[in-house]
Amino acid sequence: MSRHWLMKSEPDAYSWDDLVEQGEGIWDGVRNHRAKNNLAAMQEGDTAFFYHSNIGLEIVGVVEISEGGLTDPTDPTGKWAAVKVKPKQKLRHPVTLKQIKAEPRLADCELVRQSRLSVAEITPAEWEVILEMSKG
DNA sequence: GCCAACGTTGGC
DNA sequence: GCCAACGTTGGC
């Protein structure tokens, strides 16, 4: 049973378009324990929303975990986790943070509850709600 | 082991 | 640019 996630990136540093251009990206540099636990729990085939923080403040696409269980190559101590992701589909309409906060069914999601968490889990129900919203 | 001070992240 | 939330550090 695959799980769902949400991964934040500042588009200035790494945007959806950057990922599409490269075909596959490694998600590293996470230095938060809760986010790391989420990264470490990801398995190949899981899917994740790609969220633009700071600029945009919206979910722009869906990525698939292409390789899980990696150690962060940018971390000399080898304690932190990383995964590889591939772009799967761009949302027809981005789902903004504003919309997410206005949706009662999403009030409990990790993104809303702990806004600074860079890698959050999305429940199957929340996943469906967001996908539905992206269809406009 | 507690807690105040400080730094960072991210929304507004 | 400000501020709230959260994590980390360091003195005790």
SS3 state of residue A81: strand
The partner residues of A65 in beta bridges, in order of sequence, read A85
DSSP track, A1-54: ---EEEEEE-TTTS-HHHHHHHS-EEE-----HHHHHHHHH--TT-EEEEEETT
Q: Which residues touch strand B (CB under 7 A)?
A: A 8, 10, 53-54, 57, 97-98, 101, 115-116, 118
> Which residues of the protein are close to the nucleic strand C, CB under 7 angstroms?
A 31-34, 113-116
C1’ C2 / CA A9, Å? 22
CA distance A47 to A43: 9
pLDDT of residue A115: 86
pLDDT, position A1: 74
- Map tokens 């790391």 to a residue: A36
Domains annotated for chain A, with CATH where assigned, are 4-134 (3.10.590.10)
Q: What is the pLDDT of residue A53?
A: 94
Query: Which positions on strand C lie below 7 Å from a protein C-beta?
Result: 5-8
Q: Mean pLDDT, 10 residues at a time, over chain A (136 residues)?
A: 92 94 95 92 97 94 96 88 96 96 93 91 96 93
pLDDT score of A71 = 93
Specify the amino acid at residue A31.
R
Are A50 and A59 in contact by the 8 Å Cβ rule? The answer is yes
Read off φ and ψ for residue A63, nearest 5 degrees. Answer: -115, 160
* Cβ atoms within 10 Å of A22's Cβ, excluding its own: 12
pLDDT for A99: 95
